[in-house]
């Protein structure tokens, strides 16, 4: 997604949330590189379930070369015609690609001043794109950072109804090795966000 002027500095907690959205979004949207694996190797976690998933991801990234990571990514998301998973809101919500959830998202994007990148090849309702958009809305990449009510509306409309199901599928996917803990992190993070928004 194309960036616009950043107008305000977000709080530290919001920077952390946006950073996690960006990390997970990039891992799902872009084929892994050596730089990606190096970044993942430096991750550490605490004693929580999510912390354990970060530790597992770090260990797997250390033991995985770029060719193997790319082969896993291709098998999961690209494949011969299609991958094991289809990471699109339209598919998870309707069973088909390019359906009403995508049209609804495009309406939201126009209202929020989010422009589709000229280089984008995937439909905008790809989970990686949605996570990138959510990060941008939090930190103000498309104008002023959104307040929590507006963040909650975007999350509840475009992410919450299906992302947890997708990440659970990613955890359980036959080809998931490096991406298994990414599925765990995504599933838990979506739940944390949903719980936090419900208390606002």
Residues in a beta bridge with 169:
none
Domain count for the chain, please give it: 1
Task: With a cut of 50, say whether residue 6 has pLDDT above it.
Answer: no
Tell whether 1 is covered by a domain.
no
The CATH number of the domain where 51 resides is what? Answer: 1.10.3480.10
Domain for residue 109, yes or no? Answer: yes
Residue 7 included in any domain: no
Residue 2 covered by a domain: no
177 in any annotated domain: yes
User: What DSSP assignment string belongs to 68-86?
Assistant: HHHHHHHHHHT-SSS-S--
Model confidence band, residue 118 (pLDDT cutoffs 50, 70, 90): confident
Is the model's pTM score more than 0.75? Answer: yes
- The pLDDT tens digits for 43-69 are 999 999 999 999 999 999 999 999 999
Would the pLDDT of 4 be above 60? no
pLDDT at 7: 45
In a domain, 35, yes or no: yes
pLDDT at 120: 79
Give the mean pLDDT of 7-21: 85
User: What range does the domain containing 71 cover?
Assistant: 12-198
**Is the pLDDT assigned to residue 193 strictly greater than 50?**
yes
Averaged pLDDT for residues 145-160: 97
Asked if the structure places residue 4 within a domain, the reply is no
Tell me if 153 is assigned to some domain: yes
Beta strands in 43-169 (DSSP E): none
């Amino acid at each position: 997604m194309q960036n616009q002027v950043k107008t305000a500095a977000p709080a530290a907690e919001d920077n952390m949330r946006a950073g996690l959205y960006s990390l997970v979004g990039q891992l799902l949207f872009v084929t892994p590189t050596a730089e990606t694996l190096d970044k993942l190797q430096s991750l550490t976690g605490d004693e929580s379930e999510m912390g354990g998933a970060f530790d597992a991801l770090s260990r797997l990234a250390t033991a995985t070369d770029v060719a193997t990571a790319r082969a896993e990514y291709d098998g999961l998301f690209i494949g011969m015609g299609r991958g094991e998973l289809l990471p699109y809101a339209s598919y998870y919500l309707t069973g088909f690609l390019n359906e009403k959830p995508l049209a609804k998202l495009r309406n939201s994007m126009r209202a929020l001043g989010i422009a589709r990148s000229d280089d984008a090849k995937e439909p905008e309702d790809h989970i990686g794109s949605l996570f990138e958009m959510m990060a941008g809305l939090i930190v103000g990449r498309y104008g002023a950072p959104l307040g929590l009510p507006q963040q909650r509306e975007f999350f509840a409309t475009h992410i919450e109804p299906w992302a947890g199901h997708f990440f659970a599928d990613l955890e359980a996917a036959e080809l998931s090795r490096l991406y298994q803990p990414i599925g765990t992190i995504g599933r838990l993070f979506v739940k944390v966000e949903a719980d936090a928004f419900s208390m606002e």
